[in-house]
Chain A
Amino acid sequence: MAAPGSPVSDWKYDIIQQIHHRNRVESASFKPVFDAYGKLFEFSDSLKAQNTQLNLYVEKLKEENVRLQVSGGTGGSSASDPRAQERIATLEQKLYKLQEELTEMHRRKGENAQQLIDMKNALQEKERLLADRERRIQDQDATIYGMKLAIKQSEAAVLELERTNQLIKDEQQALHIAYCSMEEKFRKMANENEDLIQRWLRHKADEVERMNIETENQNRMRQRSLQRDIIEAAKDPVAVNLERLLGHDDVPMMPVCCVVIPSTAQRKFEAHDAEVNAIRWSPSGRFFATGGGDRKVKLWEPSPSGAEPECRGVLTGSNAAVMAVEFDPGETLIAGASSDFAARVWTLNDQRLRHTLTGHSGKVMACKFFSSSHRVVSGSHDRTLKIWDLRSRACIQTIFAGSSCNDLVCYGSQNIISAHFDKKIRYWDSRSENAVNELLLYGKITSLDMSPDSLYLLACARDDTVKLIDIRNNQVTVTLCADNFKVGCDWTRAVFSPDGQYAMAGSNDGTLYVWNLKTGQHDNVEKTLKEHTTTITSCSWHPQGNQLLSCDKNKKVVLWSDM
């Protein structure tokens, strides 16, 4: 290598420098740009080529597509192409399969249609069955409904029967109690009897002794009196009747005028706001009293001109329906029996409540003044009779009757006759605890009335008859009945006429029947009076015998009079 400085190295060096400069100017400065350009150019070229290729490919594909469409359209006209042929073959196979499926489907459709028809038939059958069933169900429902009704009715009947049963049981119990007490008494009596028999046997010997002497005397006396009687009888035979009449101090005064049965309803009016249970003329016949379901007792005075009776007073104080009313013989007091388990006494003058007699445990059905105006006897559904003293305002005696009492009458100063639910009439003496006598009839007894001569009883019973009973022998003498006579309730009252010749009672259908007691058993209906429309509960005969009163369950009172 020649050192710089030598002439040879100088020009070489200069040349190298020039070459370097040349390369720098001509190529080095352009190289990166041109390299990049070349790359970009190639890239763009390749992209272009790719693009063209892709375009070409697209075209080809389009062409092929068209061709395929054409071949598809013409249905395999280009059979030359094996691929198309293959495809056609597969397509044909598919077509064949589809056709087979179609046939299968048709067949199934046919089957389904058949099934559908069968099902429809079955459905109709079922519907017919269903309708049939429904009809039967309806029928059965109707039957069930009917049966339910029947059950209800039966239940009601059962209830009724149970109630009756209860009542009878209670009565049985009461009877049992009575029986026990009586047994006790019986034992006492037996002891007493024993004692008495002892004494009696002792006395017997004495008596026999005495009797022998007595008989001796009597024979002698009879001889004498017979002789005297025969002499007197020959003298005056007329005085006997009068003597007999005068001998009865119990019999009230016979009415002055004779009994006339009125045939027209003079007045018909509404007396109470509810049913009228009791009606009674005053002993003088100037007033009459009514007792109603509206808890009131009303006093009425019939107008002499025949106009509507005027209400003279309303006696209040009762807390339930008034079942019976009764005047005292002196016409100063009025007694009422009420369903509120009490009997009440009002004074007529000032119309004030004087006494409320409580102590019964059932509704009081009857109350009567007894022997004088200061005693009252009441009969109740609690199966007892009570005797009250108005001066001391206390119950002085309770009689265990053994059955519900519907009505009672008093006669004499001590005797009471009561009518009972158990179809019996019982006779009582207030001095003893036990029934003196009793009479069994054929129906529940609803009322009692005493004939004016105190020899006969009139008893109304639920077997739709009215019995005339001779008290002396305790026997039914006449049975009064009529075709349409029906006793409407447990407190239907039958009454004697003031002369005792007739009996009167109201029927269920609103007809008032009047029987003649003297004509005998048959065809003894004297008269029927029809004005009421519902059950007649009570009736009363005017003391003078020419006017009648009747009342019904529909608030009405009818005054019958021909005047």
Chain B
Amino acid sequence: MSDDREILRELWNGQVPVHFVLSSDETSNMEAPQPYFVLVPRQTYFPLCLDKVNRHFQKYTTQTAAGQEIWLDFDGTPLRMHYPVGVLFDLFAHDALLPWTITVHYSAFPEDELIHLASRDAMESYFMSTLKEADALKHKVTIVSTMQKKDHKQLWTGLLNDRFDQFWAINRKLMEVSSENPYFRYIPFRVYQADKSFIQKLVKPVDEEGRRQTLADLLLQVFPDHQNRKVVIQGVKMSPQTPLQWLSEHFSYPDNFIHICVHEK
């Protein structure tokens, strides 16, 4: 379906304007650090696009901060960089003024809130493991483990270099369903709320009677209190009637999870 294809591409093309500033604690007394502006793809992760930022701000940092791991915060909240950028944006800055102003830190790493993920290899392994988890949820026989090493690499480099076609050539296999079994086993998803850890449950795309489950059904399972909440996926305010199977196929992030951000009304 060309519509779906268009949606996939548009989603992939989504970018967030980010305004990086160096924390006033980090600056040396020499001169005020210049801010750094960049459009960051929604699908990627911060560790993959912080090289330039890091290089830029290293100049202004004090001697003690040099060489230490970079971390970010928004409005006083440390950002978990193993979440995709789009998720963090939707979660914290959905209503904020653009561009998204992020403060860069080097010292005083909040050990109790963040995990060390600065290196690219660590990010890759985390990504791959998330991908495999999603695959395991979706299919009985995991497709990822049947893939060759180079396919894994192609997925990662596709994401790394922002290559839609390269990524989707492999990812398509993970999204495929057969005609006799047109649904995933479970829908891999995570529900995020501000200052709370995410919620993950086993939800099937169809119920026992064979009816297709919608987003509303999923939310009902996650939040049984029927409270009216605003649901944002990939920056889009999603209608509750959206079928889960379709949602999973088209609105998943590269790690094949649907990251759902929920805001209290």
Contacts and interface: CB of A to CB of B under 8 A. Distances in A.
Nearest to B36: A41
A31 B39 contact: yes
B227 to A, nearest CB: 22
B3 interface: yes
Interface string A432-455: 000000000000000000000000
Contacts of A176: none
Interface in A34-68: 34, 37-38, 41
Nearest 6 A-B pairs (CB), nearest first?
A: A27-B15, A30-B17, A18-B236, A22-B235, A19-B10, A34-B39
Given A19-B236, A34-B37, A26 B242 contact: no
B237 A26 contact: no
Contact of A26 (B1, B16, B37, B241): B16
A307 interface: no
A323 to B, nearest CB: 139
Interface stretch (A8-16, A331-339, A488-496): A8-16
B239 A31 contact: no
B251 to A, nearest CB: 8
The contact size tier of chain A is 20 to 34
Q: Interface on chain B toward A: helix, strand, loop, or mixed SS?
A: mixed
A26 B38 contact: no
Interface in B82-125: 89, 98-99
Nearest to A15: B236
A23 interface: yes
B181 interface: no
B169 interface: no
Nearest to B241: A11
B49 to A, nearest CB: 12
B39 A23 contact: no
Nearest to A23: B14
B6 interface: yes
Main secondary structure on A side of the interface with B = helix
22 contacts: A11-B241, A11-B242, A12-B3, A15-B236, A15-B242, A16-B7, A16-B10, A18-B237, A19-B7, A19-B10, A20-B10, A22-B235, A23-B15, A26-B14, A26-B17, A26-B235, A27-B14, A27-B15, A27-B17, A34-B37, A34-B39, A41-B36
Nearest to B251: A15
A25 interface: yes
Nearest to A30: B17
Nearest to A2: B3
Interface of B: 1-3, 6-7, 10-11, 13-17, 36-39, 56, 89, 98-99, 234-239, 241-242
A19 B14 contact: yes
A23 B13 contact: yes
Nearest to A9: B3
A316 B11 CA distance: 163
A41 B39 CA distance: 14
A41 to B, nearest CB: 8
B2 A1 contact: yes
Contacts of A29: 98
A26 B40 CA distance: 10
The interface centre, meaning the residue of B11, B17, B237, B241 with most chain A CB atoms within 10 A of its CB, is B17
A15 B241 CA distance: 12
Contacts, number: 70
A26 B3 contact: no
Contact of A34 (B6, B38, B56, B242): B38
A44 to B, nearest CB: 9
Nearest to B236: A18
Central interface residue in B11, B16, B235, by most chain A CB within 10 Å: B235
A30 B239 contact: no
A25 to B, nearest CB: 7
B38 A38 contact: yes
Given A1-B2, A19-B11, A34 B236 contact: no
Nearest to A14: B239
Nearest to A36: B37
Contacts of A7: 241
Given A12-B3, A15-B7, A27 B236 contact: no
Nearest to B15: A27
Interface centre among B11, B98, B234, B236 (most CB of A within 10 A): B236
A7 B236 CA distance: 18
A474 to B, nearest CB: 160
A499 B203 CA distance: 210
Contacts of B37: 33-34, 37-38
A15 B4 CA distance: 10
A11 B13 CA distance: 21
Contact of B3 (A1, A18, A37): A1
A22 B16 CA distance: 10
A15 B10 CA distance: 11
A30 B10 contact: no
B7 A1 contact: no
Contacts of A31: 15, 39
Contacts of A11: 239, 241-242
Contacts of A1: 1-3
Contacts of B99: 30
